[in-house]
């Protein structure tokens, strides 16, 4: 007898009236009208069943610290950096763990079951590293948490940042991070990319680098990152996050850059909420859009994902772990409003980041983990439009979160008594 049978589901690829069979935490069959006995049967009623949402770029060491030690009054990047510097000496491991666990509660409720978070290693105490390693262990039953060793103050700019980063990796941090555009010179930035990629190659690790998070068209560390990926045989293991300088580059240079990135297998993570908030601040008019060239990258066959980046921290006072909000902002700012492009934006918070993070057993296919989300929507576009309610969130075939369907009662003459905003 099966553990779980979900009937009459719609999948993101367009299949309808699908039945998903689950046994021992795995999907054992995905077909139409499977007839089998099960301990539990759920009628999806034609609603969308999707693999979990995935956030490929986040900062959990700072999350939910909004207002500590004071509020970012200007809402700008520079004041946020200053605030983080003021907050770091006040941090305690216990408080970091408490805030991160609360955010993971939010994430699970939103169907966000895989997160890659950067963790600052410039503090010699590695207090945040210890805290997030503890969080990783505690949330492992319901969230896949990857940690990136992130020298936030610059690998070559901060005292002993490289040594601290190596210690963090020794403690169990998963991915090598960097921030070349924050080094003192372009040369130091390029050198930091080289050193970090060599370290990743030596240890057999992935790389996820804050790269060219700037309005400067001459910030071109993504070029160096792509070169190092090719030189060191790291294809498929390297990601450039943000890449906002690309919105200021001339088209000729980009026409050379995108094929290089494709050739070397570099992945891309854009962070729509934060990018359009923190970038493009030095313009009057015309205003730059503040995000990397997502449609062009996708057209060249690059794997592009979206990240939430921040939620109620020194840089961004908003956010709640909703990757549909991230995808919606991405499609608007990138002008990806065709039917196919909107589906690409849905992929950017599901399948694409799962691939970048090398998640195993991800998807709704036979042999995959029974991890999925039932949305109050009939397809990915409607899910984006409505920021659809997560009716049920499953981990290994067990419900870990559920939300009452969004229904409004109406008292209008000669009109229906309720509406769900669905057609």
Q: Active site residue: 94, 130, 134, 213, which one? A: 213
Three-state DSSP at 201 gives helix
Phi-psi sector, 309: left (phi>0), alpha (psi -120 to 50), beta: left
**Active site includes 213?**
yes
Residue ranges, comma separated, of all CATH 3.20.20.140 domains in the chain are 53-356
Q: Quick one: pLDDT at residue 14? A: 96
Rounded mean pLDDT of 312-323? 96
Question: How would you class 134 by CB atoms within 10 Å of its CB: exposed for 0-12, middle for 13-18, buried for 19 or more?
Answer: middle
* pLDDT(284) > 90: no
* Domain spanning 2-51+363-409: CATH superfamily: Urease, subunit C, domain 1 (2.30.40.10)
The angle, 0 to 180 degrees and rounded to 10, between the axes of the packed helices 127-139 and 93-109 is 40
Q: Quick one: pLDDT at residue 278? A: 87
Q: Which two tokens stand for residue 417?
A: 């008594």
Q: Quick one: pLDDT at residue 57? A: 98
* pLDDT(289) > 90: no
Q: Quick one: pLDDT at residue 279? A: 87
**Residues 221, 190 contacting (CB under 8 angstroms):** yes
What does pTM read for this prediction?
0.97
pLDDT in tens, 93-144: 999 999 999 999 999 999 999 999 999 999 999 999 999 999 999 999 999 9
* pLDDT(288) > 90: no
pLDDT in tens, 346-405: 999 999 999 999 999 999 999 999 999 999 999 999 999 999 999 999 999 999 999 999
* pLDDT(196) > 90: yes
Q: Quick one: pLDDT at residue 33? A: 80
* pLDDT(286) > 90: no
Q: Quick one: pLDDT at residue 35? A: 85
Rounded mean pLDDT of 323-345? 97
The enclosing H or E element of 161 equals helix 161-171
CA distance 79 to 66: 13
Rounded mean pLDDT of 33-61? 96
Q: Quick one: pLDDT at residue 210? A: 97
CA distance 152 to 148: 11
Phi, psi at residue 405, to the nearest 5°? -55, 145
Q: Quick one: pLDDT at residue 192? A: 98
Rounded mean pLDDT of 222-251? 96
* pLDDT(282) > 90: no
The model's confidence at residue 34, banded by pLDDT at 50, 70 and 90, is confident
pLDDT in tens, 152-193: 999 999 999 999 999 999 999 999 999 999 999 999 999 999
Parallel, antiparallel, or unpaired for β 38-43 and 26-32?
Answer: unpaired
* pLDDT(83) > 90: yes
Query: What's the mean pLDDT when you consider all of the chain?
Result: 96
Residue ranges, comma separated, of all CATH 2.30.40.10 domains in the chain are 2-51+363-409
* CATH match of 53-356 with 3.20.20.140: yes
């Amino acid at each position: 007898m099966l553990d779980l049978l979900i009937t009459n589901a719609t999948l993101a690829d367009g299949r309808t009236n699908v039945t998903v069979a689950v046994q021992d935490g795995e999907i054992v069959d995905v077909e139409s009208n499977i007839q089998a006995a099960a301990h539990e049967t759920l009628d999806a009623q034609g609603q969308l069943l999707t693999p979990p949402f995935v956030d490929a770029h986040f900062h959990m060491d700072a999350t939910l610290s909004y207002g500590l030690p004071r509020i970012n009054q200007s809402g700008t990047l520079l004041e946020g950096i200053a605030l983080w510097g003021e907050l770091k000496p006040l941090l305690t491991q216990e408080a970091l763990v408490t805030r991160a666990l609360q955010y993971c509660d939010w994430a699970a409720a939103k169907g966000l079951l895989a997160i890659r978070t950067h963790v600052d290693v410039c503090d010699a105490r590695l207090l945040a590293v210890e805290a997030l390693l503890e969080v990783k262990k505690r949330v492992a039953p319901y969230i896949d948490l990857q940690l990136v060793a992130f020298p936030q103050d610059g690998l070559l700019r901060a005292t002993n940042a490289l040594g601290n980063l190596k210690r963090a990796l020794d403690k169990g941090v998963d991915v090598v991070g960097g921030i070349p555009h924050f080094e003192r010179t372009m040369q130091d930035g390029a050198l930091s990319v080289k050193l970090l990629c060599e370290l990743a190659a030596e240890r057999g690790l992935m790389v996820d680098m804050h790269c060219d998070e700037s309005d400067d068209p001459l910030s071109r560390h993504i070029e160096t990152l792509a070169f190092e990926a090719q030189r060191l045989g790291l294809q498929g293991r390297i990601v450039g996050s943000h890449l906002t300088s690309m919105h200021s580059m001339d088209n000729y240079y980009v026409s050379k850059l995108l094929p290089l990135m494709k050739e070397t297998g570099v992945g891309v993570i854009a962070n729509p909420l934060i990018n359009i908030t923190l970038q493009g601040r030095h313009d009057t008019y015309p205003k730059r859009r503040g995000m990397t060239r997502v449609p062009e990258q996708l057209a060249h066959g690059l794997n592009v994902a979206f990240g939430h980046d921040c939620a109620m921290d020194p840089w961004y006072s908003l956010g709640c772990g909703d990757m549909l909000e991230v995808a919606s902002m991405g499609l608007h700012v990138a002008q990806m409003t065709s039917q196919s492009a909107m589906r690409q934006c849905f992929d950017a918070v599901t399948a694409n980041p799962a691939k970048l993070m090398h998640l195993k057993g991800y998807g709704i296919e036979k042999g995959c983990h029974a991890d999925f989300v039932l949305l109050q929507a009939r397809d990915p576009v409607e899910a984006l439009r409505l920021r659809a309610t997560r009716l049920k969130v499953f981990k290994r075939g067990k419900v870990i979160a559920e939300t009452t369907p969004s229904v409004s009662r109406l008292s209008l003459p000669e009109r229906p008594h309720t509406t769900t905003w669905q057609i």
